[in-house]
Copies of this chain bind each other. A is one copy, B any other.
Amino acid sequence: MAENSVLNIAKNADTASKKLASITGNIRDKALMALAEALESGKSEILNANKIDLDNAQAMLDRGEITKSVYNRLKLDENKMRDMIKGVVDVYNLEDPVGKILMQRSLDSGLILSKITCPIGVIGVIFEARPDVIVQISALAIKSANAVILKGGKESLNTNKKIMELIQEALLKVDGFPENVLSQIYSHEEVAEMLRQDKYIDLMIPRGGNKLVNYVKENTRIPVLGHADGICHIFVDESADLDKAKKIIIDAKTQYPSACNSVETLLIHKRFMRRETLLSQLEKAGITLIYEPEDWHKEYSDTILSVKIVDSLEEAIEHINEYSSGHTEAIITEDRLNAAMFMNMVDSSGVYHNASTRFADGFRYGFGAEVGISTNKTHARGPVGLDGLTIYKYKLQGNGDIVSDYVEGRKQFHHKDLI
């Protein structure tokens, strides 16, 4: 077996994660600063590596193998480098997510139970073209004391390799910071191998399209955090304000049509009187309206919008719970009771009243950093910040305490919360 087989990478990451759990937040913060400095001083090396990727991508673009938007996301420049470095400093400035006391309870005199946040362990992240993701995820992993195995897009191979090389070099010099906290794999075969390492990898985060997320979910026993589709809905209720509806729908559809939190389907109450006016305003704003039921499952990623007229609030809720991907949905209404009913009964990570679905984002929510957006209904849901990279353990401090004393009635629990 090769030295750097995925099994060995995963084992080493596991060992690193155990060591990470015992070092202070101070050492992790030093590692983050070293990372930021490495990017700063390695800027021209990174841009040179990126140039190679861009030349290859240009050829692929010319052959029609990739789209212009993939090319653009791949491209680094001084501005993007500055944003990347600022992103690391932002993560540095966040509160340490590890070691927070979530609960502390005296079970009995001298028997103290504490529920304390801790890292998850080893996280596998698969992402597509954007090379800035490697920096963002590395920073989040270090801050939250998790080891991470990264697989980037093949289009950004040279950029990713160079960034990782510079980061690794810098981390080696940080006193007390364990090795193998970050590692990288490159091929599809290695991804398949990574998905089998459920003994060592605790969480998979695929950041990319529907196909990638489904492939990961189908092929692993490891818990998966992410979202496959972003089929978001806006419901214009009977009492909706026309101007709010227009503003919000145009924002949610046209501000960044390929974002996962863009709206795909518009539901309109049959008794909303300004329907024709609203629809013609949307068309004037450059939105193509489609009335085909076979499109209700579709994520357009374009300025195209499905429209359906519904008989009632209930029908709107049922439609959404059937066709939505559980990401984010909004109701436009002046009726507070209808808004409350919509927000309680729609089963999505975000339920909005008179606001654009485009607000679904970790930075807009004020999380400081975002791991991704989850449509899961366990662990973490919606935009996920550092909290989503932690779990907790229970620490029990006794002094020779045994259960038989309680089972046999010699002692009783008193269960007093200390914080």
A180-234 interface with B by 8 A CB criterion:
202-203, 217-218, 221, 223, 225
Residue of B nearest to A249 (CB): B402
Cβ contacts A376-390/B at 8 Å (1 or 0 each)? 111101110000000
CA A345 – CA B121 in complex, angstroms?
11
What is the interface of chain A mostly: helix, strand, loop, or mixed? mixed
CA A393 – CA B381 in complex, angstroms?
7
- The answer to whether A364 and B403 have CB atoms under 8 Å apart is yes
Q: Is A133 on the interface with B (CB-CB < 8 A)? A: no
- The answer to whether A347 and B18 have CB atoms under 8 Å apart is yes
- The answer to whether A395 and B343 have CB atoms under 8 Å apart is yes
Interface residue from B18, B354, B378 paired with A399 (Cβ < 8 Å): B354
Q: Is A350 on the interface with B (CB-CB < 8 A)? A: yes
CA A356 – CA B395 in complex, angstroms?
12
CA A149 – CA B347 in complex, angstroms?
19
A385 to chain B, nearest CB (A): 11
Task: Find chain B residues with CB under 8 A from A401 CB.
Answer: 248, 354-356, 359
Task: Find chain B residues with CB under 8 A from A121 CB.
Answer: 347, 377
CA A243 – CA B348 in complex, angstroms?
55
Task: Find chain B residues with CB under 8 A from A355 CB.
Answer: 111, 396-402
Interface residue from B241, B344, B415 paired with A366 (Cβ < 8 Å): B415
Interface residue from B18, B243, B393, B402 paired with A356 (Cβ < 8 Å): B402
Task: Find chain B residues with CB under 8 A from A382 CB.
Answer: 392-394
Cβ contacts A to B, 26 pairs, < 8 Å = A17-B347, A21-B345, A21-B347, A22-B344, A113-B366, A202-B377, A223-B223, A223-B376, A248-B401, A251-B402, A255-B404, A350-B394, A351-B395, A352-B398, A353-B395, A353-B397, A356-B403, A358-B402, A359-B398, A364-B403, A365-B394, A377-B391, A378-B391, A381-B392, A381-B393, A382-B394
Q: A interface vs B, CB < 8 Å?
A: 17-19, 21-22, 105, 107, 111, 113, 120-121, 202-203, 217-218, 221, 223, 225, 241, 243-244, 247-248, 250-252, 255, 317, 321, 341, 343-345, 347-356, 358-360, 364-366, 376-379, 381-383, 391-404, 406-407, 413, 415
